[in-house]
Structure formats: structure tokens, C-alpha cells
């Protein structure tokens, strides 16, 4: 069972579908299949293999054989009705990270999970800079392990809890991270891993969306109020 390369989200009342085609990314209205925009050049030097939206912030992560890019909507100050997508961060893949095959955003879109059978699982810091200026600097790896080889990884409503799955395995792994109050996210550590056992091979899993917005003293634990991007 192959993971789909496309991704969709709802933006300003539209169901927006992102589809990779070679080195560009096309955005369609999936109801009428109208081309809304084309990210070309996308910033990728090799064909785009995989794209994923963040559901609440309009960010779009894309994966090629050489890099991970994150695009975000940037409003034109001269044309308030105009919205363009621009690259806000980049992670160039070295040999150890070349086998990455899947990506997933945290609820607040500040972190990006990556995973693969031959790379394990890890988290990238993909926060936008305050100036919204794209930097060629490599975005930071907040945490990673080679022991979590899997095909799929998804954040829960909290950025400190996520789950992983190897397709057709009978177990789903739930990972819980922790850090001391006041410490930066770079200091987060793995607290524990829980195993959810199933009688039959698992081919898909999904977190139940949070129906409440409870408050926390931590800003990056996934409880920050979600802001829907509108064009």
C-alpha cells in the first residue's frame, strides 16, 4: 500500500488540493478541479515526491530526493486581496536522511515530523521568522531517533505526542515527548513509547481532533489556539 503524494486542506471556503508535478506544485480547487495557483519554481531541484498541508495555517511541506521545503502564504501589502506562497524554510537531505518518505505538521505548524523505514523518525523546527524573510540556513532538527523506522507518522493535537505506523504491522507506536518548563524546544527528550496492539494488520490511523482549546503555560505544546488561513 503506497502513501499518497498529494494533500488537501480547506482554505477560505475552498477545498484546496496540492499536487506535485516534477519540480512544481499545483494548487487546485478540488470541487471543480480548477487550477488556482502554480508554485513554479517550487524551489526543488529534483522531482517533488510528497506534499502535506498544515490544516490550520496554510503551510505546505514538500519532499524531494534532495530537500524538504516549507511554503507559507505571504500577503502582498500593496494588494490586500493577493496571496502568494513563498518558501520559509529548507532542510537539505544528507545521506542519512535521504530515505525520508513521509511528513506531518504539528497542530500549531511550528514542527514537522519526518519518517521512513530506513531513517527512523524525527522533528524539524519549521517556525517562520518574524521578518518572513527566507533564509538559506538549514532548519534545525529538534529531535530524532533511528529506532522508530516506520511508513507513517502523525501528530496528536499536542506537538509533544505523536504516533507512528509501519503499514500492515499489528502495532501502532505512541511517542510522548517532554521538556522542563522554561526550556527551549531543542531540549525536548523522549519520555516514553506506548504500543497499541491490534489483532489484524493496521493500514491506517488517525487522531480525533481536539474539540476544546484548553490553555497551557507552554507555547509549543500544541494547545495554542488554531488560526485558519484565509486568502
Instruction: Give tens-digit pLDDT for 166-203.
Output: 999 999 999 999 987 777 777 889 999 999 999 999 99
CA distance 107 to 104: 10
Lowest-confidence region among 40-54, 76-90, 99-113, 142-156? 76-90
pLDDT (0 to 100) of residue 141: 94
* Contact of 113 with 103, CB cutoff 8 Å: yes
* Other C-beta atoms lying within 10 Å of the C-beta of residue 76: 10
pLDDT (0 to 100) of residue 53: 95
Structural domains in the chain, sorted by start: 7-75+82-202 (2.130.10.10)
Burial of 10 (C-beta count, 10 Å sphere; 0-12/13-18/19+): middle
CA distance 102 to 62: 9
Q: Which residue has the cell 531513517?
A: 119
Max mean pLDDT among 27-31, 64-68, 133-137 falls in 64-68
Instruction: Give tens-digit pLDDT for 37-87.
Output: 899 889 999 999 999 999 888 899 999 999 999 999 886 666 555 568 899
The sign of the torsion formed by the CA atoms of 203, 10, 8, 142 equals: negative
* Contact of 172 with 165, CB cutoff 8 Å: yes
Amino acid at each position: 500500500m503506497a502513501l499518497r503524494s498529494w494533500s488537501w486542506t480547506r482554505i477560505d471556503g475552498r477545498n484546496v488540493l496540492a499536487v506535485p508535478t516534477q519540480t512544481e506544485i499545483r494548487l487546485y480547487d478540488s470541487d471543480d478541479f480548477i487550477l488556482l495557483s502554480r508554485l513554479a519554481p517550487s524551489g526543488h531541484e529534483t522531482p517533488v515526491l510528497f506534499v502535506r498541508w498544515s490544516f490550520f495555517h496554510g503551510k505546505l511541506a514538500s519532499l524531494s530526493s534532495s530537500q524538504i521545503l516549507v511554503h507559507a502564504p505571504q500577503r502582498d501589502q500593496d494588494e490586500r486581496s493577493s496571496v502568494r506562497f513563498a518558501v520559509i524554510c529548507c532542510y537539505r537531505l544528507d545521506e542519512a536522511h535521504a530515505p525520508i518518505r513521509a511528513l506531518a505538521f504539528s497542530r500549531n505548524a511550528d514542527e514537522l515530523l519526518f519518517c521512513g523505514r530506513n531513517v527512523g523518525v524525527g522533528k524539524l523546527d519549521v517556525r517562520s521568522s518574524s521578518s518572513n524573510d527566507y533564509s538559506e540556513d538549514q532548519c534545525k532538527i529538534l529531535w530524532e531517533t533511528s529506532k522508530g523506522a516506520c511508513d507513517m507518522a502523525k501528530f496528536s493535537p499536542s506537538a509533544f505526542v505523536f504516533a507512528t505506523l509501519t503499514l500492515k504491522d499489528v502495532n501502532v507506536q505512541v511517542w510522548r515527548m517532554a521538556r522542563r518548563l522554561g526550556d527551549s524546544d531543542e531540549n525536548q527528550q523522549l519520555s516514553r513509547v506506548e504500543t497499541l496492539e491490534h489483532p489484524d494488520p493496521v493500514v491506517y490511523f488517525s487522531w480525533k481532533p481536539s474539540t476544546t482549546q484548553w490553555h497551557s503555560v507552554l507555547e509549543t505544546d500544541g494547545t495554542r489556539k488554531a488560526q485558519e488561513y484565509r486568502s
